[in-house]
Amino acid sequence: EDKVVQSPLSLVVHEGDTVTLNCSYEVTNFRSLLWYKQEKKAPTFLFMLTSSGIEKKSGRLSSILDKKELFSILNITATQTGDSAIYLCAVEATGGFKTIFGAGTRLFVKA
Amino acid sequence: NAGVTQTPKFQVLKTGQSMTLQCAQDMNHEYMSWYRQDPGMGLRLIHYSVGAGITDQGEVPNGYNVSRSTTEDFPLRLLSAAPSQTSVYFCASSRTGYEQYFGPGTRLTVT
């Protein structure tokens, strides 16, 4: 059965800390891995990763994929209170438009 | 562009009632999908569509129907509501089949 597992499920840090969120997956016919940020309502897209070892970066956020070990990490440096959100990892498989989401990591950044 | 819109925002149903959740997008995206989000379980795919007239089941399709008569609209029908269908429902669309744009969600309570 295809599955995506995120850890930790929740995390509390102080402003300025660096955090690493983990996503491991078991999916038949892997196509891509995506990270989303969900604040109060709808998830919004952060990154899409398809190749191992290539870091994607956007400001203080970065992500990398390891297709051999079947995991990805999302790093956030110099965290701010505005980073408080649920971070969702999703994997897409070939052979259709089926996306499998992990349960998410709830991050809370204290001022 | 309005992006992805969903109506209603909130709905309370009694067990056994039926209703339709509306979803529309104005980005001319071919791919659309419906998810439900329950606490601690991330997003689970209900149904998806890869174009007008083409739909398929996702992970949790039982109790729900969809149709896609136009590119813009992708309604989700609850046939006979049950308390287990209490959830937040998100509609999403995608141009590429990779990154998805989510609507604001519908919070449904079935009593």
pLDDT digits (tens, 9 = 90+) for B7-59: 999 999 999 999 999 999 999 999 999 999 998 788 999 999 999 999 999 98
The greatest distance separating any two alpha carbons of chain B, rounded to the nearest whole angstrom, comes to 38
pLDDT at A109 over 80: yes
Which one of B58, B98, B102 has the shortest CB-CB distance to A98? Answer: B58
Which of A77, A15, A36, A54 lies closest to B94 in space, CA to CA? A36
Is B35 an interface residue toward A (CB < 8 Å)? yes
pLDDT at A94: 75
Note the pLDDT tens digit of each residue in B70-81.
999 999 999 999
Q: Do A99 and B41 touch (CB under 8 A)?
A: no
Taking residues A81-91, what's their average pLDDT?
96
Question: In whole angstroms, how large is the CA radius of gyration of chain A?
Answer: 14
Residue in B with minimal Cα distance to A41? B104
Of B31, B58, B99, the CB nearest to A45: B99
DSSP A63: E
Nearest to A97 among B42, B97, B101 (CB): B97
* pLDDT score of B2: 82
Residue with tokens 């309005």: B2
For testing the chain B interface, which of A99, A100, A105 should be mutated: the one with the most B CBs within 10 Å? A99
Residue B4's beta-bridge partner residues?
B25
Residues of A in contact with B33 (CB under 8 A): 97, 99
pLDDT confidence of residue A95 = 66
B42 touching A (Cβ < 8 Å): yes
With a CB cutoff of 8 Å and minimum separation 6, the contacts of A104 are: A6, A9, A38, A86, A87, A88, A89, B42
Per-residue pLDDT, A18: 97
Stretch A62-86: mean pLDDT: 96
Give the torsion through C-alpha atoms of B96, B98, B104, B109, to 10 deg: 120
Q: Which has more pLDDT, A54 or B102?
A: B102
pLDDT category at A96 given cuts 50, 70, 90 is low
pLDDT for A54 equals 86
